[in-house]
């Protein structure tokens, strides 16, 4: 048993050193850091100094998704990009329970406590937008503001292909995943990415990365499970969004003011998370939030419109406590 633990520890350290070297190579002055929360190693890419901002990717995704934002953010903020559990270089907890969006918010909070990050601005993309909202609802005193990019925050049958959902099915899904992902995984990735980036083209370097990362059966399983778990959580989570309003503080229009500044940024051509069903609906539920609809823009705003993201972060930061 001791030998097994030793081998696991050595392997874990070697992996962390390798990841750190890759991050340093790809992102100048960025740091790769692993934080252990209840036996689960969670990975962050950290760059810059100043007010903390925490970047939460969608589904699937990883810290790699924020490549075009690291340097612009680092000019003014300290960015903490988070690989969600089972994504990128983060482990998936093996405690046996469902790793729901609420559980992931708890894991993120515990990790940020270890990193001594206080009252960050959370930037959540797609699935990560729901996590950012769950975090703000669970830890309202620990968030300075929210920037939600094409947030998937209401239950829906989103624009991801039906085949991408199959691995979440018990037993049968596992069999189909390990049999068919090596055969059709590449085609599925290309198809879903084309929809996510439309009307823009998929960057070639990002396509190469995702073809290597998103076609591993173990990864594909967690992507599919996360998709299913989010749809189960949202009917319980979405009625609580109004808790982000302060019922004791009303503006000149009679509406309750937001407890924290919130900016919602979406594209008018999003084929994955339609703006009308998510961003506009959330904006109506949260009077006082900012809604920015970008013309001729799809789902991958953080790649195609990084300047708009930075502007939204700056506006939230300017009025955050």
59: tokens are 């589904």
Residues β-bridged to residue 99: none
Q: Are 27 and 41 a contacting pair, CB within 8 Å?
A: no
The encoded tokens of residue 62 equal 């990883």
- Report which of residues 145 and 186 the model is more confident about: 145
Residue 173's pLDDT band (boundaries 50, 70, 90)? low
CB count in 10 Å sphere of residue 297: 23
User: pLDDT tens across 8-66, in order?
Assistant: 444 567 767 766 666 654 666 789 999 999 999 999 999 999 999 999 999 999 999 99
What global pTM score does this model have? 0.87
Among residues 166, 134, 153, 135, which one has the least CA distance to residue 273? 153
Provide the token pair at 107.
């894991």
* pLDDT, greater one: 179 or 259: 259
First-to-last C-alpha distance (Å) of the chain: 51
CB 255 within 8 A of CB 249: no
Q: Report the candidate in 70, 90, 87, 86 with the shortest Cα–Cα distance to residue 15.
A: 90
Flag whether pLDDT at 279 surpasses 80.
Answer: yes
Tokens 């749809």, residue located: 231
What phi and psi, each to the nearest 5 degrees, are found at residue 89? -105, 10
Where residue 97 falls among pLDDT bands split at 50, 70, 90? Answer: confident
pLDDT of residue 18: 65
- Asked whether 160 and 152 are in contact (CB, 8 A), the reply is no
Assign 251 a pLDDT band (cuts: 50, 70, 90): low
Mean pLDDT of 167-174: 50
Collapsing DSSP to helix, strand or coil, 78 comes out as strand
């Amino acid at each position: 048993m001791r030998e097994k633990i030793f081998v696991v520890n050595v392997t874990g350290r070697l992996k962390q050193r390798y990841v750190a070297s890759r991050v340093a190579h790809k992102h100048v002055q960025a740091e790769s850091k692993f934080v252990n929360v209840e036996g689960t190693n969670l990975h962050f890419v950290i760059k810059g100094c100043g007010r903390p901002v925490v970047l939460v990717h969608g589904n699937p995704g990883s810290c790699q998704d924020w490549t075009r934002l690291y340097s612009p953010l680092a000019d003014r903020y300290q960015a903490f990009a988070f690989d969600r559990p089972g994504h990128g270089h983060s482990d998936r907890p093996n405690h046996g329970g469902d790793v729901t969006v609420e559980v992931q918010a708890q894991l993120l909070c515990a990790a940020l406590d270890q990193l001594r990050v206080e009252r960050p601005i959370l930037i959540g993309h797609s699935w990560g937008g729901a996590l950012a909202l769950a975090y703000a609802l669970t830890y309202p005193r620990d968030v300075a503001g929210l920037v939600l990019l094409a947030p998937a925050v209401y239950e829906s049958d989103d624009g991801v292909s039906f085949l991408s959902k199959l691995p979440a099915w018990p037993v049968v899904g596992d069999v189909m995943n390990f049999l068919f992902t090596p055969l059709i995984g590449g085609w599925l990735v290309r198809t879903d990415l084309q929809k996510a980036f439309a009307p823009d083209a998929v960057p070639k370097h990002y396509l190469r990365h995702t073809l290597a990362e998103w076609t591993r059966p173990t990864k594909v399983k967690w992507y599919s499970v996360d998709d299913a778990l989010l749809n189960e959580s949202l009917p319980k989570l979405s009625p609580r969004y109004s808790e982000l309003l302060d019922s004791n503080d009303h503006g000149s229009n009679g509406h309750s003011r937001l407890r924290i500044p919130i900016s919602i940024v979406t594209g008018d051509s999003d084929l994955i998370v339609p703006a009308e069903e998510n961003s506009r609906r959330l904006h109506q539920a949260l009077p006082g939030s900012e809604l920015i609809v970008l013309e001729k823009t799809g789902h991958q705003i953080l790649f195609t419109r990084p300047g708009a993201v930075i502007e939204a972060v700056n506006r939230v930061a300017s009025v955050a406590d």
